[in-house]
A and B are shown apart, each in its own frame.
Chain A
């Protein structure tokens, strides 16, 4: 392979007391890809995102982003490096306006500090203008431009999910991690989401998503990694993963388990 992976995880392990949430996971995301991470509930998918984004300290392993070691880097530094994410249970700044949510995302893109903010000098005013323009552009991108002045917590569920994506995009990431972006969406919204994810990729942003909606995953992913009980059990293009007996067993096992 000629190109270097954008994100490369080797031997990643995360323990919670006695629970092994991730066990020696190896995984790669190539630049420009739309890649997916799937697996039954409790497989460790969200934990993997948390470890990559610095919200949790991994137990052992190696995480590199653009050939740079980011293991144990603090969350804000990870964001500065170019990894953005959304959350499985939406975590917007729900008492702030829609526009301000996205403007906070522009934090990584701006410098203005104490003196600039107090004196409101020219550089500061230009930067604020730039932030607002960028934020409005992103709201347009996710079709929320008409909601800019609303309180984020009052948006509908699907709109909140898209706002969270806009907020993440505002950090100007190279890699976007989406944790179950289609959860709770109706088929129409899901279709729109697929289009949105594809247009994100067109902005030269690599997308790595966790999703339970198998139709969606199979339609847009170029590469899929499967976790079960914290272990990687399969990986490959959709066709390969779909017919992998271990994957089928993992999913069957889950539905059998949840029935009793």
Chain B
């Protein structure tokens, strides 16, 4: 079986150990639940950033609609649980597979085209999904595209609705995702992705089937996004279209850009920073009497500055060779 020590260097193990202790510490704080919620949100973004990184980081294709899979996962799990009474543990894998299938379908028309077309299609696809959940009341159920009263998952008869339970829940999902992505990255498949991102033709002459390996990345990335969405659905209890706007995709993109595109550490760090900073910004901006949306100005500046001065991420100063 998986031995944790083989995956995580001792330092990572230590970090993990402390992350596991967090709920014990927050139990003694006034704002403990609020802190746990911020942590859980940051972990969720870390999971999403890892997923986006599979396509945009590993294969080098700009995905401008990653939130689409988050949406698919959220609504799939939400509808299955709230309307059909499915268990979360059944809805989660179905949501992941559903997301993965759409990942394949979305990527298929762009396989023969240049990367720019991929960016366009990803954008159009997620915006279209957004319109659908906003408009199709019969499909989504209640008014304004709401799916509400999503039940909490149960485990051995216990309902997992408390903040510390949600905290461990998303932490475990994140670690499993990290494990899968890390191992793929450091495998024959990961090498093939890297080759594709650097020179598609040279990669082909190495025997790498472009369509196959790109599709694989599309599906895996999408499935991870959908898993994030499924978690989100039960975490929020209600989900509505508003969460899945274009800017959310850009936020996740911003995370991997900040940390350094293509590296796992980068995705995690970028998401940890922006995922928790989001809350801080929301508070400090309102304190400065600026609209909450103006945080996107900061995200935009991050994108521009990083590409110009630190294309390899805040941690690495090495300029990529052209």
Contact = CB atoms under 8 A, between A and B. Distances in A.
- Direct A–B contact in the complex, CB atoms closer than 8 angstroms: yes
A76 B191 contact: no
A96 interface: yes
B188 A107 contact: yes
B191 A103 contact: yes
Contacts of A153: 321
A13 to B, nearest CB: 22
Interface residues of A, number: 42
Interface stretch (A63-71, A112-120, A184-192): A112-120
A87 B208 contact: no
A53 B206 CA distance: 11
A104 B210 contact: no
A154 B187 CA distance: 24
Contacts of B206: 76, 79, 104-105, 107-108, 167, 171
B289 to A, nearest CB: 45
B198 A93 contact: yes
Contacts of B189: 112-114, 117
Interface string B193-208: 0110011011111111
Interface string B262-303: 000000000000000000000000000000000000000000
B187 A112 contact: yes
Interface in B146-199: 180, 183-184, 187-192, 194-195, 198-199
Interface string A100-128: 10011101101011101110100010011
Contact of A76 (B198, B204, B320, B321): B204
A104 B320 contact: no
Given A91-B199, A93-B198, A117 B188 contact: yes
A80 interface: yes
B202 A91 contact: yes
A7 interface: no
A116 B187 CA distance: 9
Given A87-B202, A108-B206, A96 B194 contact: yes
Contact of A118 (B184, B199, B203, B321): B184
Contacts of B203: 93, 104
Contacts of B202: 87, 91-93
A85 interface: yes
Contacts of A107: 188, 191-192, 206-208
Contacts of A54: 204
A85, A114, A154, A168: most-surrounded residue (chain B CB, <10 A): A114
A10 interface: no
B314 interface: no
Contact of A75 (B195, B204, B320): B204
Contacts of B236: none
Contacts of A227: none
A94 B198 contact: yes
A76 B188 contact: no
Contacts of A95: 198, 320-321
Nearest to B184: A117
A74 interface: yes
A131 B199 CA distance: 21
Determine chain A's interface SS by DSSP, over half rule.
Answer: helix
Contacts, number: 95
Contacts of B201: 55, 75, 91
B192 A104 contact: yes
Given A93-B194, A118-B180, A118-B183, A79 B204 contact: yes
B207 A93 contact: no
Contact of A55 (B180, B188, B190, B205): B205
Contacts of A165: none
B209 interface: yes
A104 B206 CA distance: 7
Contacts of A35: none
User: Among A75, A80, A110, which residue has the most Cβ atoms of chain B within 10 A?
Assistant: A75
Nearest to A78: B205
A179 B183 CA distance: 36
A104 B203 CA distance: 8
Contacts of A118: 180, 183-184
Nearest to A83: B205
A8 B178 CA distance: 49
B210 to A, nearest CB: 7
A117 B207 contact: no
B111 interface: no
A112 B207 contact: no
A87 B321 CA distance: 19
A103 B186 CA distance: 12
Most buried by A among B191, B203, B208, B320: B191
Nearest to B180: A118
B183 A100 contact: no
A84 interface: yes
A154 B321 CA distance: 9
14 contacts: A55-B204, A76-B205, A76-B208, A76-B210, A84-B205, A96-B195, A104-B191, A104-B192, A108-B206, A110-B188, A112-B189, A117-B187, A154-B321, A171-B206
Given A94-B321, A168-B205, 6 more contacts: A78-B205, A87-B202, A96-B191, A104-B194, A107-B207, A124-B187
